Amino acid sequence: MLVRSGLLFTTLIFFAACNSQIKDTNGNVAAVDSARLIDADNEPGNWMSHGRTYSEQRFSPLQQIDENNVKNLGLAWYFDLQTQRGIEATSIVVDGVMYVTSAWSIVHALDAQSGAPLWSFDPEVAKSKAEHACCDVVNRGVAVWQGKVFLGALDGRLIALDAKTGSVNWSVATLDPTLPYTITGAPRVVKDKVLIGNGGAEYGVRGYISAYNVTDGSLAWRFYTVPGNPAQGFENAAMAMAAQTWNGRWWELGGGGGTVWDSMAYDPALDLLYFGVGNGTPWNQELRSPGGGDNLFLSSIVAVKPDTGEYVWHYQTTPGETWDYTATQHMILADMKIEGELRQVLMQAPKNGFFYVLDRTNGELLSAQPFIDLNWATHVDMTTGRPVEVAAARYLEAPYVVFPSYLGGHNWQPMSFNPETGLVYIPVLDFPANYGQPEAFRYVPGSANTGTDGIVGSLPDNQAERDAMRALMQGRLLAWDPVAQQEAWRVEQRGPWNGGTLTTAGNLVFQGAAHGQFVAFSADSGKDLWHFPTQTGVVAAPITYEINGQQYVSVNVGWGGAFALVFGEFVQSESLPNVSRVLTFKLGADATLPPVNWQRRVHFNPPPLTADKNILHKGYAAYQDRCMGCHGLNAVSGLLVPDLRGSSYLWDEREWDRVVMQGSLSERGMPAMGAYIDSDESEAIRAYVTQQAHRGATLATQHSK
């Protein structure tokens, strides 16, 4: 016993010394491999993969920082990420080095103890690629493995960097660059393969996940999530099975969708890789697969063999999805006692608002309960494993206000599971969206093709009605008991779109918020224990690590993402603009942030409004289809891209045309829209935005009286 603890002690000293040299014992950097990752709990000082462990629990056994002393947490260092769009990355920390990504897929390696930069790598993604990034030009982080850092760049390249220097080791195109795919998700590495999916189902693509060999980037396998044109045959039996669940000619409408844009998990004992599949293209099932059908594997959790990509099982959360209800949300693996029996489970709280507990050996549904008040289904039938829908929610006959919205009851912001409290901490969104059949649907290659209408509706002129809409926009931190399938506690927040969560053995949950606070709660009760003002909205998830006996908590801050782009009206009243940074904390530290000087008021100076009602209606419709995704609902921007109501271009037809139709600002992220709209529509949009500017100016004066 004595000998063993003595040995352990020497080992600890030894590792501590190595940590300060930012290398492992052999002088290797980022020397993560299967053995280390499977035994990640033996070295809790590191955060070696996206969800810390393959189970993606985002729970840390570190407990130097706990519920009693967390009040002494202070800023140790910060690092400016030098971009101004959404920051969604989870950092990786291995042997004293932090690897973090910013908007536009830029990677930085930092000394995790001091924040000193070691190297950075900019893949120089063409800014015009923003046109296919539905939900901001974000990146959720890298994977590291045996001296390499793997990055999925927004334009679809998978790039292997030398972890010591940041130089490119290999780079492959994971997708056809002529199609509107993007990559925003973090790769994972299982054995000798790096796994990466893609996004783009809003625009029209066929989803898949690919595995590349870590050494040279050669393609090992690819699994499509939806079938292609049956006339061309199927890649495998899973696709033949999936094709039975589709109608119509979906492959001509962009390819069906089903992108694998975020979550994965791996069980080394079962040797199963799990991934979540996204929504359909278009969202509206009646257009995508007329007459219905389940449309496999949309909105499903799929298990495959990681060596070959061979299908093993699937569970579909939303058969025949028609609301953008992706099942790409974070999945957590855990072993827990359910009805007296120890079960190997997979948990997910996807967009559709139900919390699912599956048996991860075979995909059997163990339980499902709503974690928000949803109204598209009454419950999940435990015999069939299917949701029992409210028929009208399919909006076939009439528009329907559906809870939750297309951003879901929970989106990509990672949840976490604390085995000591037995609770899952979910960053919940709670607001509805109105869905209806479009007046006419035309598939426009490369552009947004949701096939829904009425989603948006115009903002009421009347302040009381606007306030009522505002009151619907809710968000909370929810502690959920996955065994009892019920709420343990909740903290209501000022609105939706708050950060991902981290939980620790110090009985803590850490989460950043949209209104610019980084907060520590007690994990068992939700008591608010500590705050730090971040100067910007936080959406990414924190991590924790230890170097030389000192525990750190780190979070990447910087407002952004889909909600930030679209819900401008809400954002302008509640949120803080983007300041993109890494903030790292330790006990007793007292560093401060430099003062910020952001501009959030729109200066209205519109030209006179001369357009008639028909033109304004046409402008409204074209704006909501083609501009809203970036410039915000009703032309109110969410502080990431210009608020067009304040634009001087409104005064000048020719300059407007140059920007909008010809793409004179495309190298700054404003796409040339001439491929998707004609000059009449562009002019109608100018008129509509002018009208919105007059309305905004009137409301602003009423408000200041």
Rank residues 364 and 680 by Cβ distance to ligand HEC and give the closer one: 680
Longest Cα–Cα distance in the chain: 88
Given the complex with ligand HEC, which of 546 and 643 has the nearer CB atom? 643
Distance of alpha carbon 226 from alpha carbon 560, whole angstroms: 30
Within its chain, how far is the Cα of 283 from the centroid? 18
Q: Are 207 and 259 in contact (CB under 8 A)?
A: yes
Q: How far apart, in Å, are the Cα atoms of 136 and each of 131, 154, 177, 182, 183?
A: 9, 10, 18, 11, 11
User: Which region, left, alpha or beta, applies to residue 393 given φ > 0 means left and ψ of -120 to 50 means alpha?
Assistant: alpha
Residues 6+ apart with CB under 8 A from 391: none
Placement of tokens 């990786």 in the chain: 92
Q: What does the alpha-carbon distance between residue 498 and residue 429 come to, in Å, rounded to a whole number?
A: 8
Please, are residues 207 and 226 in contact by the beta-carbon 8 Å criterion? yes
Q: Quick check: 319 and 387 in contact, CB under 8 A?
A: yes
Q: Omega into 282 within 30° of 0, i.e. cis?
A: yes
Cβ neighbours for 154, distance < 8 A, ≥ 6 positions apart: 104, 105, 125, 129, 133, 137, 139, 182, 183, 184
- Cα 662 to Cα 677: distance, rounded to the nearest angstrom: 11
Degrees, nearest 5: CA angle 141-146-147: 75
> 670 near 604, Cβ under 8 Å?
no
Per the structure block, which two tokens stand in for 388? 């029992």
Residue 556 and residue 100 in contact, taking contact as beta carbons nearer than 8 Å: yes
> Residue 304: exposed, middle, or buried by beta-carbon count in 10 A (0-12, 13-18, 19+)?
buried
Q: How far apart (Å, rounded) are the C-alpha atoms in residues 185 and 168?
A: 20
Q: Residue 642 CB, nearest distance to ligand HEC (Å)?
A: 4
For residue 155, how many C-alpha atoms fall within 13 Å in the half-sphere facing its CB? 16
How many whole angstroms separate alpha carbon 493 and alpha carbon 570?
14
Q: CB of 630: closest distance to ligand HEC in angstroms? A: 3
Which residues of this chain interact with ligand HEC, rule CB under 6 A?
130-131, 626-627, 629-631, 641-642, 644, 647-649, 656, 659-660, 665, 668-671, 673, 677, 685
Q: What are phi and psi for residue 428, nearest 5 degrees? A: -95, 140
Query: Is residue 113 packed enough to be buried (19+ CB in 10 Å), middle (13-18) or exposed (0-12)?
Result: buried
What tokens does 31 get?
Answer: 């020397």
Tokens of 132: 């296919």
Query: CA 273 to CA 346: how far, in whole Å?
Result: 12
Q: For ligand HEC, which is the closer residue by CB, 165 or 648?
A: 648
Contact present, 627 and 684 (Cβ < 8 Å): no
Q: Does the CA dihedral 27-29-33-36 come out positive or negative?
A: positive
- Identify which of residues 322 and 637 has a Cβ nearer to ligand HEC in the complex: 637
Residue 79 to residue 73: CA distance in whole angstroms: 18
Q: What's the first-to-final CA gap in the chain, in angstroms?
A: 76
Residues 597-622, buried b or exposed e (16+ Cβ, 10 A)? eeeeebebebeeeebeeebbebbbbb
